[in-house]
Amino acid sequence: MVFAGDAVVVHPLPPGGSVSIGRSSENGVCINHASVSRRHAVLHLDPPLRIEDLGGTNPISVRAARADQARLPIETGKTEDMRQVSGQTIEIAPGDCITLGSALIVVRLAEAAVSAPPAGPGRAAAPPDGGDLVLRDPAMRALYEQAYLAAPGLISVLLLGETGTGKEVLARAIHRRSSPARARGPFLGLNCAALSETLLESELFGHEKGAFTGALQAKPGLFEAADGGTVFLDEVGELPKATQVKLLRVLEERQVLRVGGRAPRSIDVRFLSATHRDLEAEVARGAFREDLYFRLNGVTLTIPPLRERALDIAPLVQLFAIKASRSFERPRVPAVSAEALSLLERHAWPGNIRELRNVIERAVMLCAGDTLLPEHLPAKMRTGGAPPTPPTPAREASAPSSDPPEPAAPRGAEASAPPLRQGEPSEKQRIIEALEKCVGNQTYAAKLLGISRRTLVSRIKEYDLPRPRRPREKP
C-alpha cells in the first residue's frame, strides 16, 4: 500500500523476486510524488523480506510495526524504533512503515489473524466472517427491510446512490436473502463502465469460436455463467445504446444469443443493477432507453450518502480498523479517540464509505500506539478542508555523494509565523505539520514555527516524535 498525500494506492506484489520503487513509470511500484526519486528503492520479496535503498536524495526510514519483534539490520547490526537506511539493505516485515521522502509504503499480507479488543461501552464487537453490514442509522435499516422484502422473488432491483455508498454490498445482501436455491447459486458482477463496447458484449453474452479476431474458442458470457444465480450490473447507466437493445431482449425473453451464434440459450438469472446517474434524466435526454429503464426498475432502492448517516460512522470505523489491523498484522485493534471520531463524523465524505475505508487504513498504518488520534488523519480533516502546503521537490543528486544536500525550503517557509508557545493544545500537531511541509528539514521547520532549532529538537524528544536524521558518511 502506498500513501502519498491523501491518496491510497494498492499494488499487488508477485510471490517472489524483486520489485523496484520510484517516481519513474518504469518501476514495478510507481509513486508519482515529488519527494520520491526516479528509482528510489528495491523491495526483495524472497525470504527474508528486505528493502534496499538506492541512494536517493531523501533517505529511507523504517519504523517497526511491533517493537517486540524488531529485526536486526543486515549491515548495521543496530535495532531502533525508527531506522535510517542509506545505501543499505535491511530486513523488514509485513506491517512496517517505510518512508520514502514524504510518501509512506506498507507491505501487508492478504490474510492474517488478529485479536480484536473486547467489546465494551462505545466499542463495537468484531463482526462475524463476511459481516460487512452496518445498519445503525434508521434510514439504512428501513432500506434493507425493503430490500429483504423484494429479495425472494425474481423482480429486478435498481440500486441508486453516489459512488462508494455500498451498492454492491446491498446487492450481495439481496442475493443472500433470495430463495434458497438461488442463494446457493453464483453471484456474478460486472462494471459496465470498465470495458469497451466490443469487450462488454463478449463478456455479457459470450461468443462462438471465430466470431471475431482472437476468438479461438467458444466462451459462455456472464449471463450463462450466472445461470441459477444473480447478475449484478454495476454502472448500468454507462451501457452503449447497442448493448442496451440486446440487454432488453435478454430481460424480456430470458434467452441469450452469443456473439456470432445462431441459436439462443435459455437462462434463469436474477438481475440487479446499480448506477450513480439519474436514469430518468438520462431517459429524458435520449441517452438511456426508456423501455430498458422500466425493465430494470422493478424496485428502486436509493442508498443515502455517508454524510447523511452519521450514526453509521463509528461502527464503520471500528469495522475498517479491525480489517486494517488484520492486513498489517497488528496484535490488537487500536481504539479511536473522541477527538478523532468527532473529526470523522464532521467530514463531508465526498467519496463515501470507500473514502472512509482508505482514511482508516492510513490511520491504522500511521498509528504506533493503541489509539488513533487526530494526527493520524489526513490534514484536510484537521484543517477544515484546506489542502496542506505541498513540499518543494527535492533535487536529485547529479553525482554520487556521501552527504546529500539539505532539501530546499518550501515556499513560504521563511515567512513569519506566530511563535510556538509551550503547552498549547496544538503544539504537537503544528510540529508534525511543519516537518511534513519542510520534508523533514528541522532548520526550516524551526523557522516556520518561529522557534530555534534547539527548541524544536527538544520538543520532538518531549513528544516522542520520530526525528529525521541525515545519513552518516559511510567509511
Alpha helix segments (H runs only) across 351-452:
352-366, 379-382, 427-437, 442-449
Supply 175's cell numbers. 442475493
CATH code that applies to domain 138-303: 3.40.50.300
Three-class DSSP labels, 16-83: CCEEEEECCCCCCEECCCCCCCCCCEEEECCCCCEEEECCCCCCEEEECCCHHHCCCCCCCCCCCCEE
Q: Which residues contact residue 434 at a Cβ distance below 8 angstroms, ignoring those fewer than 6 apart?
A: 445, 448, 449
Model pLDDT for residues 330-383, shown as the tens digit of each residue: 888 999 999 999 999 999 999 999 999 999 999 998 888 889 999 999 988 887
Between the CA of residue 293 and those of 249, 254, 278, what are the distances in Å? 13, 17, 11
Maximum average pLDDT range among 33-47, 275-289, 448-462: 275-289
How far is Cα 435 from Cα 468, in angstroms, rounded to an integer? 9
**Contact predicate 388/434, CB 8 Å:** no
Q: For a pLDDT cut of 70, what percent of the chain falls above it?
A: 80
Q: CB count, 10 Å around CB of 97?
A: 21
CA 204 to chain centre: 28
For CATH 3.40.50.300, the residue range(s) in the chain are 138-303
Q: Look at the alpha carbons of 150, 154, 156, 159 in this order and tell me if their dihedral is positive or negative.
A: positive
Maximum average pLDDT range among 63-72, 87-96, 387-396: 87-96
For CATH 2.60.200.20, the residue range(s) in the chain are 2-105
For CATH 1.10.10.60, the residue range(s) in the chain are 389-396+407-475
CATH code that applies to domain 389-396+407-475: 1.10.10.60
pTM of the model as a whole: 0.59
Model pLDDT for residues 293-323, shown as the tens digit of each residue: 999 999 999 999 999 999 999 999 999 999 9
Task: Tell which CATH architecture fits domain 2-105.
Answer: Sandwich (2.60)
Surface-to-core class of residue 157, CB atoms within 10 Å of its CB (0-12 exposed, 13-18 middle, 19+ buried): buried
Supply 235's cell numbers. 454502472
